[in-house]
Amino acid sequence: MRTVPWWILLSSMAAPVLLVAGWSVSAELQGPGYDPATTTISVLAADGAGGYWVMTSALVALGFCHVVTACGLRPAAPFGRAALAGGGLSAILLAFFPAPLSGGSFSHGVVVAIGFSLLAVWPVLAMRRRAVGRRDGPGAVAVAAPVRREAVPLPAGPAPWGLRPWPSVGASVFIWLGGAWFLLALFVLDTAGAAERVITFAQSFWPLVVVVSCARWAGDDGRTA
């Protein structure tokens, strides 16, 4: 039985593509004075920037993709799905709280911090040690199906790889370390742009890893990840 609908495969694949395309095109529109290694993505989405409409549209589309993925990722734990959706909504909200071309913005910083935190913790909140199925007949286990009142929950083997504890914790730790690198780069190393790109790409790519692992697991009838 399919545990993930086809449309979240599309949304999870589109997320990193839209993000990279957005910062690449908007950087070209910004002109040669923009340095992607030292300057943050927020500058590209700043009100008045040359590529403002491209980067802002990419962030809104990215957020929408995360919300759609969270809605269909039924094998994941509910709190993890909620955190992923919240991170997506934060990306959408950035359109209403753009960074200024120079200086800082408290409201923009708050939205960014909330979005980063939600996308950093969602892998841990979404993880499952084992998948749970139900028995419809002798020896049959249906995974992630609507549970009828008479259904008896049974362990259906290990959870999909992307939802298991070690990969989930590893993804979250990597993102948090990336956040520490970004802060260090912002104030000391002058490589904030490169650090931010690594973090945001990782955050946009991990949902795809989880979705693909769930699809493979379902294709093997829940026996392997």
pLDDT band, very low/low/confident/very high, at 52 (cuts 50, 70, 90): confident
d(CA 29, CA 51): 5
Report whether pLDDT(81) > 70. Answer: yes
pLDDT value at residue 207: 97
pLDDT digits (tens, 9 = 90+) for 102-113: 766 889 889 999
Q: What is the mean pLDDT of the chain?
A: 84
Report whether pLDDT(225) > 60. Answer: no
Report whether pLDDT(79) > 90. Answer: yes
- Per the model's pLDDT, the better-predicted residue between 120 and 49 turns out to be 120
Listed by start position, the domains of the chain span 6-128+160-219
Percent of the chain with pLDDT over 70: 81
d(CA 127, CA 81): 10
- Per the model's pLDDT, the better-predicted residue between 162 and 189 turns out to be 162
pLDDT value at residue 150: 39
pLDDT band, very low/low/confident/very high, at 144 (cuts 50, 70, 90): very low
pLDDT band, very low/low/confident/very high, at 58 (cuts 50, 70, 90): very high
pLDDT digits (tens, 9 = 90+) for 3-22: 789 999 999 999 999 999 99
d(CA 14, CA 3): 20
Q: Judge contact between 82 and 93, C-beta under 8 A.
A: no
The arithmetic mean of pLDDT across residues 22-28, rounded, is: 92
Q: What are the contacts of 57-61 at 24+ separation with CB within 8 A?
A: 57/22, 58/18, 58/19, 58/21, 58/22, 58/23, 58/26, 59/22, 59/91, 59/92, 59/94, 59/95, 60/91, 60/92, 60/95, 61/14, 61/18, 61/22
Strands of 153-158's sheet in order across? 140-143, 130-137, 153-158
DSSP annotation of 134 reads E
The arithmetic mean of pLDDT across residues 56-78, rounded, is: 95
pLDDT digits (tens, 9 = 90+) for 167-187: 999 999 999 999 999 999 888
